[in-house]
DNA sequence: GCCAACGTTGGC
DNA sequence: GCCAACGTTGGC
């Protein structure tokens, strides 16, 4: 089983939204590296840290689970969607998504500040300077360590 | 709102 | 294939 971190702006889609909806198709990922993680790395049952970005404070707020293998993101075919991609075809879809299932909220937000200041987490991809990936892997050791902070 | 970092696009 | 211009992300 693998561990992941997925970012969302809480104003767009928060951990409470996921809790209410139970499962969500994680559409709108338009970055090849993030797509490849979903396509090649994610399998149903993998665990996901739900991360709130572009808010105060940014940080990990909950746990989710990968619910499906990757499949074509329907929004890329919808001309009315902001995620529409005229360069993608149904025969050869460019963008994929997975369904993500709510597991639980953390007892408290583990803030980006706190993650940054933790010596055990210096190698986390999330904390690399300039990293803007919205989907990224988490080491099992980092996963376990972060849960001890809760 | 600013801006650094990064990805993508397109002219050449 | 290079690289300047541009758009986006996301912390601050």
Spatial CA neighbour of A125 closest among A34, A44, A45, A46: A34
CA A55 to C1' C10 (Å) is 9
Of the pLDDT bands very low, low, confident and very high (cuts 50, 70, 90), residue A2 is very high
Q: State residue A130's pLDDT score.
A: 84
Q: Is the pLDDT of residue A129 over 90?
A: no
Nearest protein residue to B7's C1' (by CA)? A31
CATH superfamily of A3-149: ph1033 like domains (3.10.590.10)
Dist. CA A44–CA A65, nearest whole Å: 7
Specify the pTM.
0.94
- Dihedrals phi, psi of A48, to nearest 5 degrees: -130, 130
Q: Where do the structural domains in chain A lie, given as residue ranges?
A: 3-149
Express each pLDDT in A110-119 by its tens digit: 999 999 999 9
CA A55 to C1' B1 (Å) is 14
Express each pLDDT in A33-57 by its tens digit: 999 999 999 999 999 999 999 999 9
Contact A136, A125 (CB under 8 A): yes
| Nucleotide whose C1' lies closest to the alpha carbon of residue A8 | C10
Cβ of A132 near strand C (distance < 7 A): yes
CA A105 to C1' C11 (Å) is 23
Cβ of A54 near strand C (distance < 7 A): yes
Spatial CA neighbour of A61 closest among A7, A113, A141, A132: A7
């Amino acid at each position: 089983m693998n561990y992941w971190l997925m970012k969302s702006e809480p104003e767009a889609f928060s951990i409470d939204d996921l809790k209410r909806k139970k499962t969500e198709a994680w559409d709108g990922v338009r970055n090849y590296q993030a797509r490849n993680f979903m396509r090649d790395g994610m399998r149903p049952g993998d665990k996901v840290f739900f991360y709130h970005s572009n808010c105060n404070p940014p940080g990990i707020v909950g746990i989710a689970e990968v619910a499906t293998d990757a499949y074509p993101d329907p929004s890329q075919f919808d001309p009315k969607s902001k995620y529409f991609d005229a360069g993608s075809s149904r025969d050869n879809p460019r963008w994929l998504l997975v369904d993500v299932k709510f597991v639980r909220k953390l007892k408290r937000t583990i803030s980006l500040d706190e993650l940054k200041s933790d010596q055990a987490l210096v190698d986390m991809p999330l904390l690399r300077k300039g990293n803007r990936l919205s989907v990224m892997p988490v080491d099992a050791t980092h996963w376990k360590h972060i849960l001890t902070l809760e």
